[in-house]
A and B are shown apart, each in its own frame.
Chain A
Amino acid sequence: GQQVMQIPQYQHVQEGEDFTTYCNSSTTLSNIQWYKQRPGGHPVFLIQLVKSGEVKKQKRLTFQFGEAKKNSSLHITATQTTDVGTYFCAGESGTYKYIFGTGTRLKVLA
């Protein structure tokens, strides 16, 4: 079945440093979504990527979808303490069944 792997599992950075998490799917995806979950909270939607090679930006966050539509990345420039949380990718292969990656827990040290 479809599997979605995400690395790294944990990342500790100093405030102001950059951060990147990578997502890889075992199957070609129709689209990929990214979510953020704060400690004790529920996942909150950040963005959706649909097209091969697509790049989207939200302020300090940059999202990319690979050319083969099997991988994606989230890059945060100059992290802030408000960026703390776990970031998940979720891939869909045309069946409306969203499979989540294992997540990357980000800790930002002030």
Chain B
Amino acid sequence: NAGVTQTPKFRVLKTGQSMTLLCAQDMNHEYMYWYRQDPGMGLRLIHYSVGEGTTAKGEVPDGYNVSRLKKQNFLLGLESAAPSQTSVYFCASSYGNSPLHFGNGTRLTVT
């Protein structure tokens, strides 16, 4: 049972490049979340989804897009990466008012 799997684990981008982070969960969870973690800032919610085909904005959505075409997958896209998007990105999933299960994170550096 893999839980929540994030790919890739590490990535270096140049300013202006695009990329997609993939999150996959095998627990049949309805809710999925993307957070970014920066030193001293805690975890900030980027976007989240309450079910297949639905997405909603979190605290810091600008510069990111998401899609939830399949229940088990939640994709986070950066169309034109900026150095301010250098961060560790965590995906999480849950049944709702239940514990969030986190992936191991993706460390992204934008130069």
Interface residues of A (CB under 8 A from B): 1, 6, 9, 30-31, 33, 35, 41-45, 48, 50, 88, 90, 92, 96-103
Contact = CB atoms under 8 A, between A and B. Distances in A.
Interface residues of B, number: 26
A97 B100 CA distance: 11
Contact of A33 (B35, B100, B105): B100
Interface of B: 31, 33, 35, 40-45, 48, 50, 56, 58-59, 90, 92, 96-105
A92 B44 contact: no
A1 B44 CA distance: 13
Contact of B100 (A9, A30, A45, A50): A45
28 contacts: A6-B42, A9-B40, A30-B97, A33-B99, A41-B104, A42-B102, A42-B103, A42-B104, A43-B92, A43-B100, A44-B102, A45-B99, A45-B100, A90-B43, A96-B31, A96-B48, A96-B96, A97-B45, A97-B56, A98-B33, A98-B100, A99-B45, A100-B35, A100-B43, A100-B44, A102-B40, A102-B42, A103-B43
A44 B90 CA distance: 12
